[in-house]
C-alpha cells in the first residue's frame, strides 16, 4: 500500500524493526520531540499495529502523514513534524 501526499526528503530514519507495539510509536514520539518543525521522519516498523497506531497518533498530534509504504518485511511510515 502506498499513500503519498507529496515526497519531501526524509531527514531522519527511526528504525524500529523488531520492536513491538507500542515500541515504534514511542520511538517516533521521542524522535519528534528531538526534531524541528519541517523535518521529515521515516519510521521502519515490522509490527503490523504501527500501520494504524502511528497514523492515528499523527492525526491527533496535528503532524502530517506523508505516506505509508509496505517494504520487504516492514512498513515505512513517513511523518512531517509540522509544529
Just list the catalytic residues. 21
> Measured between alpha carbons, how far is 2 from 22 in angstroms, rounded to an integer?
22
The nearest distance, CB 73 to other proteins, in angstroms, is 17
CB of 19 or CB of 66, closer to other proteins: 19
Question: For residue 34, what is its C-alpha cell?
Answer: 528531538
Residues that bind other proteins (CB under 8 A): 19-23, 25-26, 29-30, 32-33, 53, 56-57, 60-62
CB of 1 or CB of 60, closer to other proteins: 60
- Tell me if residue 38 falls in helix, strand or coil: coil
Question: For residue 61, what is its C-alpha cell?
Answer: 498530534
Amino acid at each position: 500500500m502506498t499513500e503519498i501526499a507529496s515526497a519531501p526528503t526524509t531527514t531522519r530514519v527511526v528504525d524500529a524493526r523488531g520492536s513491538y507495539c507500542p515500541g515504534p510509536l514511542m520511538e517516533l514520539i521521542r524522535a519528534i520531540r528531538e526534531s524541528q518543525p519541517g523535518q521529515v521522519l521515516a519510521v521502519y516498523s515490522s509490527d503490523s499495529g504501527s500501520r494504524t497506531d502511528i497514523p492515528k497518533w499523527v492525526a491527533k498530534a496535528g503532524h502530517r502523514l506523508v505516506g505509508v509504504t509496505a517494504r520487504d518485511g516492514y512498513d515505512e511510515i513517513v511523518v512531517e513534524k509540522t509544529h
